[in-house]
Structure 1
Amino acid sequence: MSYPRSFSHIGLSVPDIENAVKFYSEVMGWYLVMEPSEVKEEVDTAIGIMCQDVFGEGYEDFKIAHMVTSDGIGIELFEFKQNDQNAPVFNHVPTGMFHFSVQDPDIEGLVNKIVENGGKQRMPIRAYYPGEKPYKMCYVEDPFGIVFEIYTHSYEVTYSSGAY
């Protein structure tokens, strides 16, 4: 029998982990559950072996921090030495993830806070059902070039026909 799995966490690669922790804690309100720390390449510990499985040989070291949202979704931040310091070019076409989404009923306030803290508003705030339901959305970008979306209401309420 198939059943829906819950979402555990998402990993984001950032050029400056300390500034990313500051942005995501102060702007998004996410809790820091593990301070930025350095992981060195080695194969003597479980984490060292796992990292080599994922990144291959030669990654040398990286910094990692763990944050969590109000609903318990983990945010894993990575800073690699080899990280391209330029913001990624937004491209929604290739297979793979091109955004994640957060929820805040005060979408205007959050968008303004993102922009005030070095991020970008990528589009106007739009209503899903203008004049009918109060659901809104907007794509934004953090100061590191990571694109994400903001919803005013939960995913299931936004797409269900019976709500409101």
Structure 2
Amino acid sequence: MPLPISPTFNHVGITVPDLDRAVAWYRDVLHLEVVGGPLEVHADDKPFGEVLQDIFGSSWGGVRVAFLATSEGVGFELFEFVEPATVTTKAEYWRTGPFHLCFTWPNVAELVHRICEHGGRKTSKVWTLFPSRDVVYCEDPFGNILEISSGSFERTWANRDTNDNEGSVG
């Protein structure tokens, strides 16, 4: 039996090498609200340690985590793994799984300037995909890829003919 509607998006979790710096950065630069933590969870903690050990396996021993939220209530979890320790790597976009996070802001140049002023970096030029729909890619100071889009996802893609040159992204 098909679902009557799609599930709503609840949260995303990203790994960072320094939880305290990341919480401050996302709170101060993108104005995400801190709703919980930071806290440290170990494998033998009940119930969260048991849950995480079930997810990550027996080699997992501990993590620091904080819980933030966007203005529309979408959760944003930040993880700094303690055991095994977080390893900073360049994003491998060709591997399965998420490779970027997208935030909507009407003036992408304004937000990318703010990101760069606070230790992030711009990794692409500003692209106009459609009239009044700009995107730009950046990295936060921790190497996570951020896309900034001037319009919401559904408004950007609804009723577009991606086969005509004016609506093409490829």
TM-score by length of 2: 0.86
Paired amino acid for 1:61: G
Secondary structure, in 3 states, of the residue corresponding to 2:9?
coil
Paired amino acid for 1:48: G
Residue 79 of structure 2 corresponds to 78
Secondary structure, in 3 states, of the residue corresponding to 2:146?
strand
Map 1:117-156 to 2 at 5 A: 117-129=118-130, 133-156=131-154
CA RMSD of aligned residues (A): 1.4
Residue 164 of structure 2 corresponds to none
1:59 and 1:159 map into 2 onto residues whose CA distance is 40
1:64 and 1:37 map into 2 onto residues whose CA distance is 6
1:48 and 1:101 map into 2 onto residues whose CA distance is 30
Q: Cα distance, 1:105 vs. partner? A: 0.6
Map 1:10-159 to 2 at 5 A: 10-42=12-44, 45-81=46-82, 82-84=85-87, 86=88, 88-129=89-130, 133-159=131-157
| 1:6-64 alpha-carbon deviations (Å, 9 max, x no partner) | 10000111000000001100111100001211112206x22122011012224222111
2:98 and 2:56 map into 1 onto residues whose CA distance is 18
Secondary structure, in 3 states, of the residue corresponding to 1:128?
strand
Structure 1 contact 41–58 (Cα < 8 Å) conserved: no
2:19 and 2:117 map into 1 onto residues whose CA distance is 19
Q: Please list every run of at least 4 consecutive aligned residues from structure 1 whose deviation after the TM superposition is greater than 6 angstroms.
A: none
Paired amino acid for 2:10: S
Q: Which runs of 5+ in 1 are unaligned?
A: none
Q: Which runs of 5+ in 2 are unaligned?
A: 161-170
Residue 163 of structure 2 corresponds to none
Paired amino acid for 2:159: S
Paired amino acid for 1:135: R
Q: Cα distance, 1:91 vs. partner? A: 2.5
1:48 and 1:94 map into 2 onto residues whose CA distance is 28
Secondary structure, in 3 states, of the residue corresponding to 2:53?
helix
Secondary structure, in 3 states, of the residue corresponding to 2:21?
helix
